[in-house]
Amino acid sequence: MSETILLIMHQASSNPGRVGAMLAAKGYRLEACRVPLGDRLPESLDDYAGAVIYGGPMSANDDDSLAFIAEELAWLEVPLRENKPFLGLCLGGQLLARFLGAAVTAHEAGMHEIGYYPVRATAAGRGWYPDEQWFYHWHGEGFDVPACAELLATGQFFPNQAFRYGRAHAIQFHPEITGEMMLRWSRGPVHRMVMPGAKPTESHVRDHALHDAGITRWLDRFLDDWLEAPLAQAAE
């Protein structure tokens, strides 16, 4: 079994956050790949235990104007063909939806999810998600669920919050966000805080204190299930 997880990020300032920290704590080596900055995607995941595509300010529909979006979209054939664990976070999940034939669109009423919002497990998702957990969001577009996939979690403004296709998972929210990342995001683009549905910066800080411990516990279990077993147990 390979000990390396491929982390695909989209900006020089991007970091793998809590997902990366937890994977490293479980014994995995992390390999960053920033396609917009010239890094090459591997032709196979034979040397990897899994892959994660993170979010970014661009759209999953920008494949006609951003070459790296088109490249990542086409590359998703690799983890699916090889049946390797894949996790798409926000933009990454939207790319998976598009690859599988579903649409990624803005909310019909212009709503955004910026801040903490509740996510609820579907009947099919109860093995993966709690009945309700508040997660950090930062998006104005959402994915439809591909016909071949299984909806695992739902929300209020964007009803499709997580789906699974084999060993590939798409998540609309940001469980990787740490407190430091939340403060940087929420105190940056102030104009986004007045968009319909967006929450003011002070609520981001308050809700982080309320919900972050629960997110941490959930993510620890989720990553183990996603990878089937922690590296230490798999080696026993």
Q: What is d(CA 26, CA 224) in angstroms, rounded to the nearest whole number? A: 9
Task: Indicate if the pLDDT at residue 194 is higher than 80.
Answer: no
Q: What pLDDT does 186 receive?
A: 87
* pLDDT, mean of residues 23-34: 97
Query: For the structural domain made of 4-234, what CATH number should be given?
Result: 3.40.50.880
Q: Please, which pLDDT band fits residue 236 given cuts at 50, 70 and 90?
A: very low
The backbone torsions φ and ψ at residue 140, rounded to the nearest 5 degrees and listed phi first, read: -120, 0
Burial of 188 (0-12, 13-18, 19+ CB in 10 A): exposed
Average pLDDT score over the chain: 93
Q: Which residues contact 144 (CB under 8 A, 6 or more apart)?
A: 97, 102, 103, 104, 105, 160
Give the global pTM: 0.94
Q: Please, which pLDDT band fits residue 232 given cuts at 50, 70 and 90?
A: very low
Q: Please, which pLDDT band fits residue 5 given cuts at 50, 70 and 90?
A: very high
Q: What is d(CA 170, CA 161) in angstroms, rounded to the nearest whole number? A: 8
pLDDT (tens digit, 9 = 90+) per residue, 38-84? 999 999 999 999 999 999 999 999 999 999 999 999 999 999 999 99
* The residue to which tokens 């970091």 are assigned: 15
* pLDDT, mean of residues 212-221: 98
Q: Please, which pLDDT band fits residue 25 given cuts at 50, 70 and 90?
A: very high
Q: Please, which pLDDT band fits residue 13 given cuts at 50, 70 and 90?
A: confident
Please say whether the beta carbons of 72 and 98 come within 8 A: no
Domain boundaries, the chain: 4-234
State the CB neighbour count (10 A cutoff) for residue 199.
18
pLDDT (tens digit, 9 = 90+) per residue, 182-193? 999 988 766 677
Burial of 93 (0-12, 13-18, 19+ CB in 10 A): buried
pLDDT (tens digit, 9 = 90+) per residue, 147-165? 999 999 999 899 999 999 9
